[in-house]
Amino acid sequence: MASQTSTANHLSAAAVQSLEEVHIRHPLNPASDVFLRRLAPIFGLQRLALYVARVPPGKESFLFHRHERDEEFLVILSGHGRAEIGEDTIEVGPGDMMAFPAPYGPPHHLTNPFDDDLVYLMGGESSGFDIAHFPKINKQLIFSKTEIRLVDVEASQKMSFADWQTPSSTDDVEP
């Protein structure tokens, strides 16, 4: 039987259920509808993001994306959904796990085309800075502690590391 108490190091199932849900919608996806229960602050976790997320029937998580900096994982707790991971779409259900290493993990996205809520544990790094790549719409979101910026990749200037390098002053010296 699960304990009904909550401490700095333990949170009962009933306590998790009683947490306020924060309603999130991705501004670039009108079908995005996610309700998050924030767990990390309760435990005093500062370098880890940890949520219980709920996607209602007929809705989607965020937008097909991958992370430049922060790694991410998901564990399906209840319900069923479809996970788009790279070029594959798979049905997911209770107990299924997904992990997305940064910076080269595949883009991913969850949808809930079924009749029940899709509930999952979502966690990952919380570095305070990340870039989310949205390959289907050719945009990026730059997250910092002070702001979030949307960048149109087509309108930005691509540069290489060579653009920042200068010839060494010793290269110009005759032997």
| pLDDT per residue as tens digits for the range 115-162 | 999 999 999 999 989 999 999 999 999 999 899 999 999 898 888 888
What are the residue boundaries of the structural domains of the chain, listed by start?
A: 21-128
Which CATH class for the 21-128 domain? Answer: mainly beta
pLDDT at 30: 95
pLDDT at 76: 99
Residues 137 and 93 sit within 8 Å (Cβ to Cβ): no
Within a 10 A sphere around the Cβ of 8, how many other Cβ atoms? 8
Q: DSSP label at 27? A: T
CA 68 – CA 104 distance, rounded (Å):
7
* Strand, helix or coil for residue 88: strand
Cis before 30? omega within 30: no
pLDDT at 1: 46
Task: Record the pTM.
Answer: 0.85
pLDDT tens digits, one per residue of 37-58: 999 999 999 999 999 999 999 9
Residues 21 and 34 sit within 8 Å (Cβ to Cβ): no
Residue 7 has pLDDT above 80, yes or no: no
